[in-house]
Amino acid sequence: MGKSGGGKTSLIETLRGESIVYRKTQYIDYSDTFVDTPGEYAEGNDLGGALAVYSYEADVVGLVVAADDDFCIFPPACAPVANRPVLGIVTKCDSERARTDMATLWLENCGCERIFLTSAKTGQGIEELLAYLK
Ligand SMILES: Nc1nc2c(ncn2[C@@H]2O[C@H](COP(=O)(O)OP(=O)(O)OP(=O)(O)O)[C@@H](O)[C@H]2O)c(=O)[nH]1
Ligand SMILES: [Mg+2]
């Protein structure tokens, strides 16, 4: 879960070994190994409850923040309310506007137990994340 345009679907495509094709996520897609969610669900209170429900369908929850994001939508100390591992995933580490340290700090403040630094474009961090998930 994470902001719209943050790179969730691209990350999933990369983890699957597929090429990246831009497709706005329009609904919660739980048809396969990954549960992909539209960013809008994480951006407002009205749909946020659905993310909580779907998080209980998953073995592991990933909070996604792009390295070039200007702000973080997740509040501090939100991760420990889940009774399963909550990972922090920094996407777009290749971006020329990347502030990876800032994104990492935001996810640490959320209480994420592991933080992966990734790029769907360069493949950075993908093997490490796959190894963890496997
Ligand atoms: N530079 C760079 N761009 C990326 C990366 N990952 C995704 N993008 C770009 O960011 C844009 C949004 O990517 P998506 O994967 O669709 O983002 P999303 O989080 O699934 O967005 P929603 O479906 O709206 O929630 C696309 O134009 C991607 O090409 C990355 O690792 N590096
Ligand atoms: Mg998407």
pLDDT confidence of 76, banded at 50, 70, 90? very high
What does the pLDDT look like over 41-58, one tens digit per residue? 999 989 989 999 999 999
* Probe residue for ligand 1, chosen from 3, 8, 10, 126 as the CB with the greatest number of ligand atoms within 8 Å: 10
pTM of this prediction exceeds 0.85: yes
Residue ranges around ligand 1 (CB below 6 Å)? 2, 4-10, 20, 22, 24-25, 38-39, 91-92, 94-95, 119-121
Within-domain flag for 96 = yes
Closest CA to 13 of 98, 119, 128, 88: 119
Number of domains making up the chain: 1
What percentage of the chain exceeds 90 in pLDDT?
90
Residues sharing a CB contact under 8 Å with residue 15, sequence separation 6 or more, in sequence order: 34, 126, 129, 130, 133
Secondary structure class of 86 (helix, strand, coil) = strand
Within-domain flag for 75 = yes
Residues sharing a CB contact under 8 Å with residue 43, sequence separation 6 or more, in sequence order: 3, 4, 73
Report the CATH number at residue 117: 3.40.50.300
- 31-38, Cβ contacts within 8 angstroms, sequence gap of 24 or more: 36/8, 36/9, 36/12, 37/1, 37/8, 38/4
Within-domain flag for 80 = yes
Query: Cα(7) to centroid of ligand 2, in Å?
Result: 7
Query: Which ligand is closest to the CA of 126, given by its number?
Result: 1
Within-domain flag for 125 = yes
- The answer to whether 120 touches 5, Cβ cutoff 8 Å, is no
Within-domain flag for 3 = no
Domain limits for position 13: 8-133
> Does the pLDDT of residue 3 top 90, yes or no?
yes
Secondary structure class of 41 (helix, strand, coil) = helix
Within-domain flag for 13 = yes
Within-domain flag for 1 = no
Within-domain flag for 2 = no
